[in-house]
Structure 1
Amino acid sequence: MIPQQSRRAVQALTLLAVLALSGCAGPAHQDTETDAAASASAEPSGPVTEQVTSKVVAGVRVPVYPTDSYQPSPEDRRVIERAEYVLANRCMKKLGMSWPPPILSTWEAHAPSERRYGVSDRAAASQFGYQLPPPKGLSRSEQQRWNARQEARLASVERPVMDAYTGEGKGGVGCRGVARDELKMDWINSMGTTTAVSREGWEKSGADARVRALDSRWAACMRASGHAQSDPLAAAGRWAGSGVAEDGSSGVTPAPSAREIAMAVADVACKKKTDYVDSRQSVEIEYQTSAIGRNAEKLDAFRAAWTWTLDRARRVT
């Protein structure tokens, strides 16, 4: 069995790999990228675009951004993940070992963009406050049991098996590396341009006078509802620790307080009243589009790289 400290390290590395593959990290929490645009463009002018793009994910309408087309979709990632497992396990079998298969979900997860500007769905707010709701069709307790299965999956792996898979302690790439080489997955370590473009759109739109005015209208609505918050992300930050057990364990998630739910419901209502999500998204899209124009060659190359991987993954059986 792997010692507890090692298991946590492996789980952390696995999570980072998943985040790198999915591109799900929020703009406010991403590291600075070395290939970010060196110079800032002039602030876009003109009215906020009324027509915005969106889609329904897990029963909730969420924003869609220009950068989304340069990254693999959740469905694409599942295909690649499955192929990576198949190829890695073939390698493991040659060593007389096997790697536990991934525990694939059967439900629809919420899109990261659902919370880009804070809570936006009234049904979720009225039940979970500012906490992230479980995937659609899954209860909180079912989600916790699934999470426990994922943790147990890696915790049960013996050290020699882990080393053979990751290459740790062997000075090589391991069977996971062999699989990724076959799938030409170097692109998972070169997402800098897509991250930089998304980050630029996020930061510049947040400083835009139109968004500052939008925040002011939302804040005024919240004050009228009895909640003093400067902007939606400040409101979400007010309840950042909600849902976390006091001992930091991954056990039963504490229910949100009545005060948290009241603020979250008012938050959603004020977003609707001020047309917050659509209006802010429109401004952010302007900046993203400008940044994409200056980084088109790198973005196209990145998309071509993961598209090749996806095509190859679909042929893996």
Structure 2
Amino acid sequence: MVFLAAPIAGCGSGRPESARLPALGPVPAITALEQIARPIDPYLPAASQVKELHQAIDAVTARCVKTYGLPSIPTMSADFEDVALQNRARNQLYGFFDPGVTATKGYDVETVMSGHPVQPTEADIAVLSGHSGTGAVVTTYDGKPIPAGGCHQVGVDAVDGDPPTPGSGVSLPDGGPPVPIGDPRVVRADTRWSACMKAEGYSYANPADAYADAKWRPVGNTLSRPDATRKREERATATADMACKQETDFMGVAIAVQSAYDRQYIASHSAALKAFTEHLDDRVEKAAQIMATDGTETG
């Protein structure tokens, strides 16, 4: 199962002193999600890398489960390219930005589950996780020892840990570049955006608050259809949000400021980023070797 990086979570978001603010480069014109580009992008885990790691974990896990005489549990496939794109659309600095979907999906917060995943048996759960369905540790199955963490952990260990999230900086050294929500240039952009939204009848201090409004989140059963009135309000709010971002050039300013902090972070973490990239490459190479041995294509 693949999860998006925390959409409103950031690190190092204090208010910097003006004298120490990193210098801005050009302020880009951003009118579409695909136009968001940052200096940190080349260091982010790629969708193809994450896909290979997940495939290798699944292969090793299935091989382990088979030794217990159990059938492997089909895994739910994920479009890792889309996961990376969705992570780009969500950020503590700008909340949500994807003008192409707001008229129909609003802030696109509902989780859509397709198909009917196979329900694991108690035996499956024990062998896969090393725990029972109630969370109790299980150490054997049919007289055979179960490794700590179960067969899934065996798969994870084979590629040196859980895969990172594609397109997200949370796995980078020190959690990636700081998110400059307190930078006065961002604060001024927030103020302009907020005034624009107020003129449209909405009261939010910044774009992240609009996206994070609890009204948009499903309550109870997340697979149930959202309330029609609430969804209309969400679409209207998100559409106004996108329009105000365009009118005030919010995205251009936000990405220019974030890029300045990206450059500062890259300069101060060059050795750590090199080590991170090399280790990720090594992990992907291990995954490729596993898949070659398994006889499964990775494409």
- Aligning the two structures, in what range does the TM-score lie when normalised by the shorter sequence? 0.7 to 0.9
Say if 2:210 is the partner of 1:232: no
- Contact kept, 8 Å, 1:88 with 1:176, in 2: the verdict is yes
Residues 223-262 of structure 1 aligned to structure 2 (within 5 Å): 223-238=198-213, 240-245=214-219, 247-255=220-228, 256-262=230-236
Structure 1: gaps of 5 or more residues: 1-14, 135-142
What is the alpha-carbon distance in structure 1 between the residues aligned to residue 203 and residue 39 of structure 2? 33
CA distance in 1, matches of 2:162, 2:201: 51
For this pair of structures, how many residues does the alignment match?
A: 267
Is 1:162 matched up with 2:125?
yes
TM-score norm. by structure 2 comes to 0.75
Structure 1 length-normalised TM: 0.71
Query: Does residue 174 in structure 1 map to residue 154 in structure 2?
Result: no
Which of residues 206, 216, 237 in structure 1 aligns to 2:191?
216
- Residue 9 of structure 2 is aligned to residue 29 of structure 1: yes
Say if 2:129 and 2:152, in contact at 8 Å, map to a contact too.
yes
**What is the distance in 2 between the residues matched to 1:305 and 1:70?**
12
**Residues 18-58 of structure 1: per-residue CA shift (max 9 Å, x gap):** 44xx7x233x436x7xxx8xxx8973344452248x898xx
- Superposed CA deviations along residues 209-267 of structure 1, whole A, max 9, x for unmatched, are 111111111122222223232211122233x232514x444222333444433322121
SS in 2 for 1:29: coil
- In structure 1, the partner of 2:27 is 50
Structure 2: unaligned runs, 5 residues or longer? 132-137, 140-146
Q: Could you tell me which amino acid in structure 2 is paired with residue 217 of structure 1?
A: R
> Deviations along 1:154-210, whole A, 9 cap, x unmatched?
xx212222222223322624222222333233776xx97626343x521xx211111
Indicate conservation of the 8 Å contact 1:55/1:64, yes or no.
no
Counterparts of 2:43 and 2:275 in 1: how far apart (Å)? 9
Match of 2:69 among 96, 101, 104: 96
Could you say what secondary structure the match of 1:122 adopts?
coil
Q: Which residue of 1 aligns with 2:143?
A: none
**3-state SS of paired residue (1:104):** coil
Name the SS for the 2:104 alignment partner.
helix
Query: What is the alpha-carbon distance in structure 1 between the residues aligned to residue 31 and residue 55 of structure 2?
Result: 26
On the 8 A contact 2:189/2:250 being kept in 1, the answer is: yes
CA distance in 2, matches of 1:99, 1:296: 42
| C-alpha contact 1:271 1:277 (8 A) present in aligned 2 | yes
- Number of the residue aligned with 1:73: 46
Mapped partners of 1:90, 1:260: distance in 2: 46
1:66–1:288 contact (8 Å) kept in structure 2: yes
- How has the CA–CA distance of structure 1 residues 125 and 195 changed in structure 2, closer, same or farther, with 3 Å as cutoff? farther
Distance 2:171 2:101 in 1: 33
The residue that corresponds to 2:161 in the other structure is 185
Tell me whether 1:279 sits opposite 2:260 in the alignment. Answer: no
Contact 2:50 2:163 (8 Å CA) reproduced: no
Give RMSD over aligned pairs.
3.4
Percentage of identical aligned residues? 22
Equivalent residues of 1:119, 1:125 under 8 A apart: no
Q: Give the letter aligned to residue 157 of structure 1.
A: P
Q: Tell me the equivalent position of 2:96.
A: 119
Deviation (angstroms), 1:65: 3.2
